[in-house]
Structure 1
């Protein structure tokens, strides 16, 4: 018995880079409780929950336009026009947040709800009033608002100029952000600029998997990455110069990261894969040298010249922008859901050009880890622990706030697999803290079931189910809500539900 247990423990404590080190569960290490000052919350986004897509003067976003022009693109034929109606029914959300006992609530502001055509010269006061009401009610109930400025709801009129494919977006976003600070910064002290650039740029500007439907592999995502980083860096510098002295807020760029495990147990392979998966956005901000990772710049320049181009498809950020972007953070905002096994390819892969060919690693799946309803999501909590240690060792143990992490299923209130997912991922966080990682908060995805873009309402992530056939859209706690409430109350994990 003891020899078997020792074998399992040795396997779990083996190389963080090895696929063979995984058995899809996490054992406790050290003190099983969270620190007293650790904060718990929950997350959402405007497009997915608000509904009221054209209510009270709101302008259209590119996702509104896409859904209406391509109704067959959503797997269940649904749309987000009404969604779970948080615009009309926020008090129901507030009750759920209070029942959970969260310390903070991450939500996003819909750019076209307050500036219908994207320009700050045309305001929609009813939209501004809505967000003021949300912020004031959260604070009145002891819940800190964590506000995402941009969660993919690009105003249609801004996208006409190219969105993140045009460097003009830097000035457009800066104007928008400045108005947010003016409107809400007296009360909002934690800001997130542009959600998940990795997903935004690859899906929208490279692979045409969603709006703005640009297919430009190996080019579009790099232009988008560059403009996101410039918009974020400029926003941070503007805030520090104009607002910080009075408002004392904190900012970050929220990145989604899948941890990469090497099939051959190669640390070099993991380091290179993580430079492409995470470093391409994190290195310019969090490293001491700034700019894109050297190996990424070298690879893409070499490939670009071999294609007959005169310069790289991903040029250096240059001295000025490197100085603006480097250090443009107060913490690292992390979205983690899963991990992937990878191996380097001996032959060129993917389209020419493409991110896949530049990075040159083949992504697989774990045959032994549970699969969520989402085809990209597997149960790999060790990946979170490994990722937090990677951040500790690579980026000078920067403070990390985990602001998305979740499990999808087909629905139902007896969601024991979601409980196990969060129990194991929270154990991974505790283990990382006990190993010296500077992790201070956790806000899983999501408060309630909501519209999941191309998957419609077929994939559920929420702690609360929503009665979509009722005019009042009642929110009902699932088993996982009761579990998470206990975790928050006790700052410990091992509860039965």
Structure 2
């Protein structure tokens, strides 16, 4: 994207002013979960071990509170209660993921687990009874350990394994599912799991494994898409997409040309890494990413770049393989200048960017990385419209963490302010946002944070074997939103200490009009 366009997007920032309150006709609302985070039943009914089972059992010190997903929210046994909660919320759709190791214990199609197949059919039937559409993710981070033992996403053979797994899911469940997501947050899969220790399987192959993973993952996504498009879409009449996550990067000083340029580089490295190969006319990785990694690799004495480019076949094969752009977004960080980020290893994806970042922006949440910056969300959406030829967009995750209070005014304000920005870009900028998915239905196993950070509409007491769910105040907020299709103005949703619609904290000088 041209630098002048990026600067123009920054100049459009507003302080979350609610110019609009009503959502367009046809706009849909949903809630999301993921199999490993809620199901439990980790080793019963034929399910095999996945990479998160292995990590939490063998390296429990890596989980903040020492918990694991063995029981989680016990949704394997309590899915009907989950569906009742969804029905009460009044959502149009429920985004959940299938557990690969529950369906295929070996990871391959040589053994299909009938109990796993039955479980998901039962869940789909329960949703149908309540007229709730399923939005189903094929892979949400819980790779069967048997496939990880073969190298996981760094192994090109995973392209075939994922295609076979997709084929089973389309064939078995496609009559009940009209909306599919291939991968959830490929950045987290590749950089945080194969380039760092932040996610399972925690392979710290920084600057190498992350790029091997992205090569395999994008090809696997494309094969799954083409399989559905050519074999199943003609009879099942569904749609299929990928869900890409991104922190949005902005310059700490928008009058600083170098920071503005580096912010665009960072966004290309984070979001463009997976969006550019699919959603642009050129295809392949972003040019600045190819150039930066090649230069760094040369400086490291390597004979070729650590980032291998796609050949012509794969460039064409990957292009256009998503019916919609799925976006997971939570927060914004700032670029403070050029150089090597203090957290960057050598070599690494972060060092390849060549910028220093900070999280000193916006309001707080219970997660260190999650700063509340609603205007950053609007800027990301404008940037996607400009960068990717005005695609239809689904927000497939967006949410707020706290420590578990039932009067969760912070979560309500977060939803209200971020939804306000969605309305602003729909009506003022013509961004084609078609639906919104809140994260998450209930407090669940938040990966390496365990249960120490709570994102749910429903509080889950993990000290009680029955895993009781208790609705928070945000349940009533979202229920009113889905019923009226309008931002709720009810006084009961306003924090007694802080008015709901007050502007967010100042963002340094982010909102100054650039001078270039």
TM-score (norm 1): 0.93
Deviations 1:233-264 (A, max 9, x none): 11111111111101111111111111111123
Deviations 1:80-100 (A, max 9, x none): 101110000011101100000
Task: Tell me which residue corresponds to 1:254.
Answer: 243
Task: Tell me which residue corresponds to 1:225.
Answer: 214
Task: Tell me which residue corresponds to 1:389.
Answer: 382
> Any idea what SS the aligned residue of 2:95 has?
strand
- Does the 8 Å contact 1:67/1:79 carry over to 2? yes
Determine the C-alpha separation between the residues in 1 that align with 2:433 and 2:161: 33
Shift of 1:347: 6.1
Q: Greater shift after overlay, 309-318 or 206-215?
A: 206-215
Shift of 1:420: 0.1
Does the alignment pair 1:282 with 2:272? no
- Does the 8 Å contact 2:262/2:338 carry over to 1? no
Determine the C-alpha separation between the residues in 2 that align with 1:168 and 1:490: 48
Shift of 1:209: 2.5
Listed as ranges, the gaps of 5+ residues in structure 2 are: 1-6, 493-516
Determine the C-alpha separation between the residues in 1 that align with 2:9 and 2:40: 42
Q: Greater shift after overlay, 404-413 or 341-350?
A: 341-350
Task: Show the 5 A alignment for 1:76-115.
Answer: 76-115=65-104
Determine the C-alpha separation between the residues in 2 that align with 1:57 and 1:428: 45
Task: Tell me which residue corresponds to 1:49.
Answer: 38
Determine the C-alpha separation between the residues in 2 that align with 1:308 and 1:76: 42
Determine the C-alpha separation between the residues in 1 that align with 2:339 and 2:161: 43
Task: Tell me which residue corresponds to 1:4.
Answer: none
State which of 472, 482, 501 in structure 2 corresponds to 1:488.
482
> Any idea what SS the aligned residue of 2:439 has?
coil
State which of 307, 313, 317 in structure 1 corresponds to 2:306.
313
Determine the C-alpha separation between the residues in 2 that align with 1:151 and 1:431: 30
Deviations 1:85-133 (A, max 9, x none): 0000011101100000000000000101011111111011011100011
Task: Tell me which residue corresponds to 2:330.
Answer: 337
Determine the C-alpha separation between the residues in 1 that align with 2:74 and 2:345: 41
Task: Tell me which residue corresponds to 1:413.
Answer: 406
Shift of 1:276: 0.7
- Does the 8 Å contact 2:37/2:447 carry over to 1? yes
Number of residue pairs matched by the alignment: 479
Determine the C-alpha separation between the residues in 2 that align with 1:115 and 1:441: 31
Does the alignment pair 1:238 with 2:255? no
Shift of 1:21: 5.7
Deviations 1:10-42 (A, max 9, x none): xxxx96437x967xx51023x421012000000
Task: Tell me which residue corresponds to 1:210.
Answer: 199
Determine the C-alpha separation between the residues in 1 that align with 2:214 and 2:80: 37
> Any idea what SS the aligned residue of 1:84 has?
coil
> Any idea what SS the aligned residue of 1:56 has?
coil
> Any idea what SS the aligned residue of 1:203 has?
helix
Determine the C-alpha separation between the residues in 2 that align with 1:347 and 1:98: 49
State which of 61, 68, 86 in structure 1 corresponds to 2:50.
61
> Any idea what SS the aligned residue of 1:57 has?
coil
In structure 2, relative to structure 1, the CA distance for the partners of 1:137 and 1:356 (3 Å cut) is same
Determine the C-alpha separation between the residues in 2 that align with 1:347 and 1:251: 38
Deviations 1:441-460 (A, max 9, x none): 00110000011111111110
Q: Greater shift after overlay, 92-101 or 353-362?
A: 353-362
- Does the 8 Å contact 1:17/1:260 carry over to 2? no
State which of 448, 461, 465 in structure 1 corresponds to 2:459.
465
Deviations 1:171-207 (A, max 9, x none): 1111100100001011111111111111111111011
Deviations 1:340-383 (A, max 9, x none): 1113314686333111221011110234x211111100111111
Task: Tell me which residue corresponds to 1:437.
Answer: 431
> Any idea what SS the aligned residue of 2:459 has?
strand
Q: Greater shift after overlay, 413-422 or 344-353?
A: 344-353
> Any idea what SS the aligned residue of 1:42 has?
strand
> Any idea what SS the aligned residue of 2:10 has?
coil
Determine the C-alpha separation between the residues in 1 that align with 2:432 and 2:179: 17
> Any idea what SS the aligned residue of 1:243 has?
helix
Task: Show the 5 A alignment for 1:447-462.
Answer: 447-462=441-456
Determine the C-alpha separation between the residues in 2 that align with 1:468 and 1:68: 18
> Any idea what SS the aligned residue of 1:450 has?
coil
Determine the C-alpha separation between the residues in 2 that align with 1:281 and 1:193: 13
Listed as ranges, the gaps of 5+ residues in structure 1 are: 1-13
Determine the C-alpha separation between the residues in 2 that align with 1:151 and 1:347: 31
Task: Tell me which residue corresponds to 1:5.
Answer: none
Determine the C-alpha separation between the residues in 2 that align with 1:347 and 1:78: 34
Task: Tell me which residue corresponds to 2:175.
Answer: 186
- Does the 8 Å contact 2:9/2:383 carry over to 1? no
Determine the C-alpha separation between the residues in 1 that align with 2:442 and 2:453: 11
> Any idea what SS the aligned residue of 1:146 has?
strand
State which of 125, 132, 135 in structure 2 corresponds to 1:136.
125
Deviations 1:29-61 (A, max 9, x none): 3x4210120000000000000011011111110
